[in-house]
Chains A and B, each alone.
Chain A
Amino acid sequence: MSSYCRTCRAELPAQARFCGKCGTASRSHARSVVARGQQERSEVLRAALAFGWVCVGTFVAMLVVASFVGDQDPWSSVLWDAAGMAMVGLCAAGIRGSWRESMPLGLSWQWLVAAGIGAAMSMVFGIAYVGVLSGGHREPSELPGAPVIVAVVVLAPLFEEWLCRGVAWRAAAAMANPQAAWLLTSILFAFLHGLGGNYLLELPHRAFAGLVFGWLRWRSGSLVPGVVAHALHNAAAVLQFGG
């Protein structure tokens, strides 16, 4: 069935999107373009909301746990921190799609090797950076207690990788592209560690580690290499620097 151009009233062939005489888009095509644009805008804004919630929600959860639990019971602090981050991640993941989609878990031995190399690179950078900051002077430190080891070596890699390279990665990729997601999640990862007390001093080596772990996530398509690299990095940091 032919229709007519709404501008010059020329007859439009069937399935034509534009008028051949004046170039005006047909009514149906114009509507579909608008609908597509609105859908894209909605997806981008939801992705930005999820990304922002990961940042803000993590800060809020850490501050709330630190305020109400404090240092009274290390295990309580660890568990509440984990619970807080889980809530943040589930909420953020639920904003865009299912939470299961935020945890790709493929695994291959090549990527495990790459994870070890990545952990070594980030550790070397971290040691060099801390050495420069401290001027080469560092007091010997002792091993922390079991709660801190579990929190730093086991729980932190799991939750941080899921939040940054799982939930936030998916949101950032929806906002832009995988390359931008790699950069954005590294930036997020670096700033999330600033609450530890060293503020912006944490940025450089955390950002480098974020880039390494993010590259593993990007190329492997799975969270597992990043989690392994992060756990190895943290274990080495605990041995080197203590709690």
Chain B
Amino acid sequence: MSIVMSATTTDRWDEFMEGVWRQNPLFVMVLGLCPALAVTVSAINALSMGLATAFVLTCSALLVSLLRRMIPKEVRIATYIVIIATFVTVVDYLIQAISLALYDALGAFIQLIVVNCMILGRAEAHASKNPPGIAVINALGMSAGFAIGLFALGAVREILGAGTLFGISLFGSGFQPWVVMVLPPGGFFVLGMWLLVFAAWGRWRQRRQARQAEATRHA
């Protein structure tokens, strides 16, 4: 597969995977913790929040990137905030139109997307310096990484806290819910566990790379 990939496709894939994996906003950069801890009591809430954030992140990255030569550097932060707030308002209306139950479940955290530092960080560090195509790909990658992270939290918390995944019962009616998992401390426990897994995995990969480098040097 990788052999037939043209150079630009590989680059784009790299740009996308940057956010999904190497710079995963939740597990590597540890950004956007407020929604990550607060709304991930169920997989569906977590995914919805991931999608809402993805919408805001991608749209604002596109707009910032399109306007990047127009925006004076003295007022760039203010401009980014205005743009991000616009899309947050849009997503707020959209969720209300789709499902009020979901809107109630996500609560104030929809409006709080505006202060998600990951979005402002991407606008400042990436979208304002790159053409729209690349900015959107990067934003999509970051969104995917964030959504995957939220889903990983939400899935564990829902499975242990309610015995269900996407509302489908996994263990039958006799399941004993772990009450703590749907309470705030559960968010911290599960996030810590995932950070541990990611750190252990990263270290393992580093060691393997070092071993391979050693082997090629000797060969």
Q: Do A and B bind each other?
A: no
Chain A interface residues (CB < 8 Å from chain B): none
* Chain B residues engaging chain A, CB cutoff 8 angstroms: none
